[in-house]
Amino acid sequence: MRRWFRRKKEKEEEDLPPESVSPTPAEAEAVPEGEAQASGPEEGSLVPETSETPEIDAVSDQPFPSLEAETIPPAAEMPAELPPEPAAGEERRPGFFRRLFKGEAEEAPVSSPEAEGLPATGEPLEAVMPQAQEEPQTEAAPPEEEALEAEEHEALEEVPPSRRGLFKRFRDRLRRSREALAGGLDRLFLGRKEVDAALLEELEELLITADLGVETTLRLVEGLQDRLKRRELGDVEKLKEALAEEMLSLLGVPVPAPAAARPRVVLMVGVNGVGKTTTIAKLAHQERLQGRTPLLVAGDTFRAAAAEQLEIWGERIGAEVVRQKAGADPAAVVFDGLAAALARDVDTVFIDTAGRLHTKVNLMEELKKVYRTAAKKLPGAPHEVFLVLDATTGQNALSQARLFHEAVGITGIILTKMDGTAKGGVALAVAHETGLPLRYLGLGEGLEDLRPFDAEAYVAAILGG
């Protein structure tokens, strides 16, 4: 600040003639009293100490104010309007500090409430700002999966209430097989209005890739071709219905009547890792729910911890287990198990056997020995021989079924792991090419997930009907 006054003083001295000096005391007394008070230095002022009185600005007749001569006005006395800007070529009037401390500095313009969209007379904000209100919840379009579930729910409404639970379980657990087969059919029929030979040829290829097998597929397509010749297939919807009817005809293998013997002996066979031990536990659990007494025989003496696994299952479902040490003769274990069943008066005996490849001749001969031992100890036993097949193996299950059937005479097939594969169509191939009835489907790992086979529920599940 002092430098500013010093520069101003030097500039004024340059402009004045040499003889120009500070006013005489007489001239100073001639100055009006108000102006002298405004221009004279006071105690505490920022004006530099000098004997000369500050010169009047060349542009204005008003002297430069002292900092203490002016006070900051209250907010109520602030000017309502800004001073006009000087025109071009016009010098800005002096009094920078006066404008600064009196609030004449430029301020940001305040827009009117109407310009901002706000209420002008106490009107509530909700009336002017609808975007601030909570927007109503709008339901999004259902995704494809929800639409599929809604479609399945409508299909279930047509099922009798007594069987609705079974249909729903099949639909839920055979989802992957349905996506492979029914999804392929939907893509194949998309945009097609008429059924012709070309469409049936493409359908044949689709069924083969869905693991129905060549022979089973040819049988299904031949039946559809006969219907086409009889003009029974007018559109693709009728074609889908006809395909379902042909599949049901292949699955209509008669199931033998249950044996009236007591105890009823069930022999479980199959290759390694198909889930025989777990399937035995599920079957025994169903026996317990029906009020019958099961007995488990640990005939698998080859696999490590197989007997221990069966004992754990027996404890869970409340069934007794007959076992011997590891490496014992399986036929001897079966003999002791049947003797214990007769002594304890049980209803059903489930015999577990070691997994064996159907191509191993010596192991298949051992299985035949177990079969003969059961028949010697209890005439007519075993009354049921269930072959357990892994659905994920696909067409390899067919050769297993043939060789096991030749060795011990299979009476029923249990397909496991149906919920974890897209090859659920193998059930049709097994039933058609072996002529053996499907008895159970494994739809999960829980004790309740082994369900009796139902042809209508199965076809509806894989075709999405």
pLDDT band at 253 (very low <50, low <70, confident <90, very high): confident
For residues 389 and 416, the answer to whether their CB atoms sit within 8 Å is: yes
Collect all residues with Cβ–Cβ distance below 8 Å to 244 and sequence separation of at least 6: 459, 460, 463, 465
How high is the pLDDT of residue 445? 87
**Cα–Cα distance, 407 to 412 (Å, whole number):** 14
DSSP, residue by residue, 318-380: T-EEE---TT--HHHHHHHHHHHHHHHT-SEEEEE-----TT-HHHHHHHHHHHHHHHHHSTT
E strand or H helix that includes residue 241: helix 236-251
Looking at per-residue confidence, does 358 or 34 come out higher? 358
State both tokens at 193.
């209005």
CA distance linking residue 427 with residue 156, whole number of Å = 22
Q: Which amino acid is at 429?
A: A
Q: What is the pLDDT of residue 223?
A: 93
> Which tens digit of pLDDT belongs to each residue from 104-156?
444 444 444 444 444 444 444 444 444 444 444 444 444 544 544 555 555 54
Buried b (16+ CB within 10 A) or exposed e, 120-142: eeeeeeeebeeeeeeeeeeeeee
pLDDT in tens, 53-81: 444 444 444 444 444 444 444 444 444 44
Residue with tokens 């139902």: 454
Say whether the peptide bond before residue 382 is cis (omega within 30 degrees of 0).
Answer: yes
Residue 49 has pLDDT above 90, yes or no: no
pLDDT value for 317: 95
Are the CB atoms for 465 and 459 separated by under 8 Å?
A: yes
**In this prediction, what percent of the chain has a pLDDT beyond 70?**
66
Residue 349 is predicted with a pLDDT of 97
- Tokens 């002791």 label which residue? 336
**What own/partner pairs with CB < 8 Å and gap ≥ 24 does 165-170 have?**
166/451, 166/454, 166/457, 167/457, 167/460, 167/461, 169/443, 169/451, 170/441, 170/443, 170/451, 170/454, 170/457, 170/458, 170/460, 170/461
> At 452, phi and psi to the nearest 5?
-60, 140
In the prediction, which pLDDT does 337 show? Answer: 96
CA distance 41 to 45: 6
Which class for 190: exposed (0-12), middle (13-18), buried (19 or more C-beta within 10 A)? exposed
Domain segments of the chain as ranges: 2-75, 264-463
The domain defined by 264-463 carries CATH number 3.40.50.300: yes
Q: What spatial distance separates the first Cα and last Cα of the chain, rounded to whole Å?
A: 94
Other Cβ atoms closer than 10 A to 461: 28
The pLDDT tens digits for 367-384 are 999 999 999 999 999 999
Per-residue confidence (pLDDT) for residue 98, from 0 to 100:
53
Q: What is the pLDDT of residue 158?
A: 57
H/E stretch holding 149 reads helix 144-157
**420 compared with 276, residue with greater pLDDT:** 276
* Residue-wise pLDDT tens digits, 425-448: 889 998 998 899 999 999 988 899
Highest mean pLDDT among 92-106, 145-159, 335-349: 335-349
